[in-house]
Amino acid sequence: MQVTETFFSIQGEGRHAGVPSAFVRTTGCHLRCSWCDATYTFQGGERRSLDEIMAFVRAQPTKDVCFTGGEPLLQKDAWDLVTRLLDDGYRVVVETSGNLPFDRSNTFPGEARRRLCISMDVKCPSSGEHTKNRPELMRDLREPDQLKFVLADRADYDFAVAFLRAHGFPPCPVYFNPVGGTDPKALTLWVLEEREPLPVHVGVQLHKLVWGDEPGR
């Protein structure tokens, strides 16, 4: 597996925000979001065996793992790693761009599937990649998962709301996070102004409040 970095930090966003976690960040992404904060993952990295990755994870004082990128599902051994982590009793978050299939997640038996969180993105217009969204993939989301929108402006917000109204809400939490991750005030006001119920969570990226844009954090 091509890996940019492994590190121990807190989970920065979503339903496990604030939880100390082992991070495995892969190299390579097929998208080029305009606001991407991990462009250093686009190339480089080093080859690591699954045994080496598992040894790193087991050395960390946590049972939570975030498998991220880049786009981790581009790695041919991605699901083999997820399987090994779940077999070892870890709780695993897989962060994916929302246009690669992840239906294999639903082949894991019940208890293991409950420890697996697919974190699916929907790209908004400011990213420049919103035409790559595949809303049909939402059918494979389950209760332990999460759906995430990163919003830069009001146009992104309106796009996200229209997307959810058109395609329906999944059986898992939905997060609206501001670009940059640290100032949710405008986004909060927009959500509060909705007259029709909008069951979303306004999020921040906790790791950016703590570490800024420092890699490996």
Tell me the pLDDT band of 206, cut-offs 50, 70 and 90: confident
Domain ranges across the chain: 2-211
Query: Model's pTM, two decimal places?
Result: 0.94
Rounded to whole angstroms, what are the CA distances from 93 to 21, 27, 189, 195? 10, 17, 29, 33
Q: What is the pLDDT of residues 115-131, one digit of tens each?
A: 999 999 999 999 999 99
Token pair for residue 100? 């690669």
- φ/ψ of 100, rounded to 5, equals -115, 140
Q: Which amino acid type is present at position 112?
A: A
Tell me if the domain spanning 2-211 has CATH number 1.10.1040.10: no
* pLDDT tens-digit map of 52-93: 999 999 999 999 999 999 999 999 999 999 999 999 999 999
Task: Respond yes or no on whether the N-terminal peptide bond of residue 70 is cis (omega within 30° of 0).
Answer: yes
pLDDT band at 1 (very low <50, low <70, confident <90, very high): very high
Rg (CA), the chain: 17
